[in-house]
Amino acid sequence: MNKKINTTRVSKFLSFVLRHHPEKINLTLDQQGWAEVTDLVEKLNNHGMTINRETLEHVVATNTKKRFTFNEDHSKIRANQGHSIKIDHGFVPIEPPEFLYHGTAKRFLSSILASGLEKRNRHHVHLSADLKTASEVGRRHGKLVLLSIRSLDMHKAGFEFFLSENKVWLTDHVPVKYIQKKG
């Protein structure tokens, strides 16, 4: 592996390309968001990101948020969730736990309490099964506010939930009546 590679920089660029803008490096994703690894490595190198397959494997394996997945034979790669482009994840609805959590910044709280959690330009609202993860996510956006979501009640009311490969809970919208501020 090329030791000079900044894995955080590579990971962020992979997120940008695989979740939002594959066209920026002339990459083609299939309907499920998969890219051919050989094509991705070639296109990354053609656009100034010097990388080889070994480095890509290292970045995927060591990414603490498990943002990326290889298929079984590692010939294809995709982002697990968080896409702003249209893809078919193939998610299967699943019953959530009684409560899920969402970390956000204080500046967003009044909007959330007025209209709920909305997916906006993403495919889903992202929720966490534990407060630690929700806190880590929320702190990235500013002064932390933790929200508790009555997810099982939502599910019983007909809302669908999905669990991504990297254990992020997903749903289309969380109405205000299912949200409670923690603490």
Q: Walk me through the domains of the chain, giving residue ranges and CATH numbers.
A: 7-79 (1.10.10.970), 100-181 (3.20.170.30)
What pLDDT score was predicted for residue 183? 66
Spans in the chain with pLDDT lower than 70? 1-5, 183
76-79/169-171 β-pairing: unpaired
Spatial separation of the C-alpha atoms in residues 30 and 78, rounded to whole Å? 10
Q: Which residue has the tokens 């002064």?
A: 143
What pLDDT score was predicted for residue 7? 85
What pLDDT score was predicted for residue 86? 81
Q: What is the 3-state secondary structure (H, E, C) of the chain?
A: CCCCCCHHHHHHHHHHHHHHCHHHHCCCCCCCCCEEHHHHHHHHHHCCCCCCHHHHHHHHHHCCCCCEEECCCCCEEEECCCCCCCCCCCCCCCCCCCCEEEEEEHHHHHHHHHHCEECCCCCCEEEECCHHHHHHHHHCCCCEEEEEECHHHHHHCCCCCEECCCCCEEECEECHHHEEECC
Task: Kindly report, residue by residue over 57-94, the tens digit of the pLDDT.
Answer: 999 999 888 889 999 999 999 998 777 788 777 789 99
What pLDDT score was predicted for residue 28? 94
Nearest to 59 by CA among 133, 6, 137: 6
Please answer whether residues 172 and 137 qualify as being in contact, where contact means their C-beta atoms are separated by less than 8 angstroms: no
Nearest to 176 by CA among 99, 119, 106, 116: 116
pTM: 0.66
First to last CA, the chain: 45
What pLDDT score was predicted for residue 2? 44
Spatial separation of the C-alpha atoms in residues 137 and 109, rounded to whole Å? 15
Please answer whether residues 152 and 98 qualify as being in contact, where contact means their C-beta atoms are separated by less than 8 angstroms: yes
Task: Compute the radius of gyration of the chain from its Cα atoms.
Answer: 18
What pLDDT score was predicted for residue 4? 52
